[in-house]
Structure 1
Amino acid sequence: MTADQIIKFLEERNFKELKEELENLHPVDLVDAMEELDKKQRMLVFRLLSKEEAAEVFTDMNSDMREELLEALTDSELKEIMDEMYVDDTVDVLEEMPANVVDRLLMATDEETRKQINTLLQYPEDSAGSIMNIEYISLRKEMTVADAILKIRQVGINRETIYTCYVTEKRKLIGVVDVKDLLTAGESRLIEEIMDENVIYARTLDDQEQVANQINKYGLVAIPILDHEDCMVGIVTVDDAMLVLQDETTEDISIMAGVSPNEDSYFGTSVFQHAKNRSLWLMLLMLSATVTGEILGHYEDAMAVMPVLITFIPMLMGTGGNCGSQSSTLVIRGLAVGEIEFKDIFRVLFKEIRVAVVVGLMLAVVNGLRIYIMYDQNVMLAGALGLTMIAVVSMAKCIGCILPLLAKKLGLDPAIMAAPLITTILDTCTILVYFNIVTAFFHL
């Protein structure tokens, strides 16, 4: 259903049929449609939803839409929504809301839920504990399969996922069992007979990106989270892991483009905020580029004797920047997915050197022939530019692969060593290499 169709129902005041249509619409699709409605229309649509549907839609909304709805909702309506939300989703909502809204949301929850929320809020930002769900199915090893299935039926409605159940003893995780195994096993069999004791788990203080990568690596629906005493305290589900990876990817792309990361959407960010996010990087890169200008000034005499040398500077700087960006992008991607680690630095460097030799020779031959033909068969000039090209490509490939690895080793985000910064560094290095070679060739 599109926003236009919803508007048509509202204009015709055909609320009964609209309510039926909304029941068949996925919450995410409904949120997309509601973004195109005005404030009054959104409120009308939201009030047509059941408590369960309203909670799901509220969870999927952006912070601006939530604040808008909260202004119109009564305390009793808000309490009904909060009662239907999972605790981890409630925490996600609270983290995006201003303080006055947070107070109102907390007042709409019961005392037990508030304690659970406060526990999750105490974990460091970007840790596994901050995104985990404390509502999961816990079984005992002495239970029979029939007992386990009965428990799932009784409490499963209040759990975010029931596909994997966790076997605990005095809060210690001792095994896991899938619902598939329960349904296919004999009802009289004990849980300890069918549970898997080889459990993949994470810690509350582990980085959330690392946990998301674990879920992706092992193909899990959810991963159990243990505290420092090895007690199970929650799970991180695959949907939360996907959001983490999406946020981390967005952040890396922003940094690689020389833009400060921003949590809001493109259209939801003001022009001033966009300018602020971009100006700092641009300022730093502009100031660092002045070094290149100073180096060029040092070779004024050489350029005065052979003005033709100036015409090759853009080509060499562009080639160096492009080569460095290629290497840095591949290494950053490898680091992000766990394919490359710092211990692989010499393997990576050796591979990039070999690539640089092949690419450098190809570019040098093509460029040398071009210069030989276009500049009166000047062999010396063609040779100098060919040698410079090989040197620049080799240098660019090495710098492009080493800097992200060093950043990772120093605890920095490797994405900062992406195209803008790499290009600026290589511009300076290219000028130094170029003029050292041509001055040696032509004794300038």
Structure 2
Amino acid sequence: MPEERIEELLEQRDFKQLKLELEDMYPVDLAEIMEELTDKQVVLIFRLLPKEEAAETFSYMNAEMRQVLIDALTDSELQEVMEEMYIDDTVDVLEEMPANVVDRLLLVTDEETRKQINMLLQYPDDSAGSIMNVEYIALRKEMTVAEAILKIRQVGINKETIYTCYVTEKRKLIGSVDVKDLLTTGENKVIEEIMETNPLFVRTLDDKEDVANTIHKYGLIAIPVLDQEMCMVGIVTVDDAMIVLQDEATEDMSVMAGVVPNEESYFGTSVWKHARNRFPWLLFLMLSATITGLILGHFEAALAVMPILNTFIPMLTGTGGNCGSQSSTLIIRGLTVGEIEFKDIFRVLFKEIRVALLVGLCLSMVNGVRVIIMYGDPLLAFAIGLTMIATILLSKTVGCVLPLVAKKCGLDPAIMAAPLITTLVDTGTILVYFAIVTRIFHI
């Protein structure tokens, strides 16, 4: 149902029809539409939603809209929402709220839920423990299939996923079994006979991006999480893994563009914060450009003898920066999906050098023809072509090596992306350019 239809029903005060039509909407779509409505309309619509749909819609909202609802709802209404939300979604909400709001939300939850929330909040933000859900279905190995199915029917309504169940013994993970296997197996069979005895698992302190990549790699719906004592404490589901990968991709894009990562939406971030996030990299790039200026000043005599050399500097530095960015982007992608590791550095370097030679030769020939046509100087065309090849070799090498070195040192490879690589390549290009032309033209 489009936003216009909702506003029309609100103006007509036809709340009965509005409630009926809201029930047919997906919570994620409804959350997006509500972002365009007034605060009063948001509160009114939210109160028309059934409890389960309201809780799910709440989990998809941005922080500003959640704040509006929290301020408007009574404690009993908030309690209903919190009871319907899964623990991991509740933790995500609390992490974005100010301390006074967190206190109010915790007060309307029961003691057991509050204990689980506090446990999850203690894990580092980048760990598996911070995104796991403590609600999962645990079976015993001596259960029959019929008993297992009965348990799923009894407790499955409160679990985020029931498609994979976990077999535990004194909280130790000893196996897993899919619901498909339960439904296609004789009811008298024992779980121990059909369970997978070597399930994949992760630890609570494992990096959440690695966990998300594991789920993606093996096509899992969920993966169990074990603590340091090898006891099962929760699961990470595929939807949470997708959010992690999306957040990591957004963060990498921000860093590669020279912007401090920001979890808030574009319109939800103030102008001051936008400026503050962009300023550090811009300051670094501005100051680093001073080095290029100093190098150009050192070769001022050569430029005075051949002013035409100035006209090729933007082309050479631009080509070098673009080539370096291409290589770094491909390497960072390979590192992210696990296709490339640090041990592959020489294979990567060998491949990029061959690519650089091929690309450099093609570009230098095209540019050489242009220079001869425009300036009628074959020696100048040769000098620029040689510089072009050397620049591309340099930029491809820098672009592929720096992200790998960063990963090996435990840094984010995206830090070594466009802004930093462009700065290094610009400096290197100017040095190579004047080293070649001063020798060829003896200036």
Q: Same fold (TM over 0.5)?
A: yes
Secondary structure at 1:167 match in 2: strand
Counterparts of 1:338-357 in structure 2 under 5 Å? 338-357=338-357
Cα deviation for residue 106 of structure 1 reads 0.2
Counterparts of 1:305-324 in structure 2 under 5 Å? 305-324=305-324
Cα deviation for residue 389 of structure 1 reads 1.0
TM-score normalised to structure 1 length: 0.99
Instruction: Name 2:148's counterpart in structure 1.
Output: 148
Counterparts of 1:217-228 in structure 2 under 5 Å? 217-228=217-228
Secondary structure at 1:143 match in 2: coil
Cα deviation for residue 198 of structure 1 reads 2.2
Cα deviation for residue 409 of structure 1 reads 1.1
Cα deviation for residue 386 of structure 1 reads 1.3
**Aligned-partner Cα distance in 2 for 1:314–1:80:** 62
Cα deviation for residue 55 of structure 1 reads 1.0
Cα deviation for residue 336 of structure 1 reads 1.0
Cα deviation for residue 379 of structure 1 reads 2.4
Letter matched to residue 303 of structure 2 = M
Letter matched to residue 154 of structure 1 = Q
C-alpha offsets along residues 351-395 of structure 1, whole Å, 9 cap, x if unaligned? 00000111111111111222122222x222121111111111111
Counterparts of 1:164-183 in structure 2 under 5 Å? 164-183=164-183
Counterparts of 1:56-75 in structure 2 under 5 Å? 56-75=56-75
Cα deviation for residue 435 of structure 1 reads 0.2
**Aligned-partner Cα distance in 2 for 1:406–1:264:** 30
Secondary structure at 2:88 match in 1: helix
Secondary structure at 1:119 match in 2: helix
Secondary structure at 1:112 match in 2: helix
TM-score normalised to structure 2 length: 0.99
**Aligned-partner Cα distance in 2 for 1:404–1:40:** 49
Stretch moving more, 428-437 or 306-315: 306-315
Letter matched to residue 166 of structure 1 = Y
* Structure 2 residue 396 is the aligned partner of structure 1 residue 397: yes
Instruction: Name 1:409's counterpart in structure 2.
Output: 408
**Aligned-partner Cα distance in 2 for 1:84–1:383:** 72
Secondary structure at 1:233 match in 2: strand
C-alpha offsets along residues 78-109 of structure 1, whole Å, 9 cap, x if unaligned? 11111111111111110000000000000000
**Which consecutive residues of structure 1, in runs of 5 or more, have no partner in the other structure?**
none
Counterparts of 1:149-228 in structure 2 under 5 Å? 149-228=149-228
Stretch moving more, 411-420 or 347-356: 411-420
**Which consecutive residues of structure 2, in runs of 5 or more, have no partner in the other structure?**
none
**Aligned-partner Cα distance in 2 for 1:403–1:249:** 19
**Aligned-partner Cα distance in 1 for 2:378–2:143:** 86
Instruction: Name 2:19's counterpart in structure 1.
Output: 19
Cα deviation for residue 126 of structure 1 reads 1.2
Secondary structure at 1:262 match in 2: coil
Secondary structure at 1:282 match in 2: helix
**Aligned-partner Cα distance in 2 for 1:38–1:107:** 28
Cα deviation for residue 22 of structure 1 reads 0.9
Letter matched to residue 30 of structure 2 = L
Letter matched to residue 438 of structure 2 = T
Aligned residues: 443
Instruction: Name 2:255's counterpart in structure 1.
Output: 255
Instruction: Name 1:426's counterpart in structure 2.
Output: 425
Cα deviation for residue 9 of structure 1 reads 1.0
Secondary structure at 1:373 match in 2: helix
Secondary structure at 2:198 match in 1: coil
Letter matched to residue 17 of structure 1 = Q
**Aligned-partner Cα distance in 2 for 1:393–1:59:** 48
* Structure 2 residue 105 is the aligned partner of structure 1 residue 114: no
**Aligned-partner Cα distance in 2 for 1:267–1:159:** 34
**Aligned-partner Cα distance in 2 for 1:57–1:326:** 40
C-alpha offsets along residues 142-163 of structure 1, whole Å, 9 cap, x if unaligned? 1000000000000001101000
**Aligned-partner Cα distance in 2 for 1:76–1:439:** 80
Secondary structure at 1:148 match in 2: helix
Secondary structure at 2:113 match in 1: helix
**Aligned-partner Cα distance in 2 for 1:206–1:269:** 30
Identity rate of aligned residues, in percent? 74
Counterparts of 1:39-54 in structure 2 under 5 Å? 39-54=39-54
* Structure 2 residue 302 is the aligned partner of structure 1 residue 302: yes
Letter matched to residue 427 of structure 1 = D
Instruction: Name 1:386's counterpart in structure 2.
Output: 385
Secondary structure at 1:224 match in 2: strand
**Aligned-partner Cα distance in 2 for 1:225–1:314:** 53
Instruction: Name 1:334's counterpart in structure 2.
Output: 334
Instruction: Name 1:32's counterpart in structure 2.
Output: 32
**Aligned-partner Cα distance in 1 for 2:161–2:112:** 21
Q: Deviating runs (4+, > 4 A) in structure 1? A: none
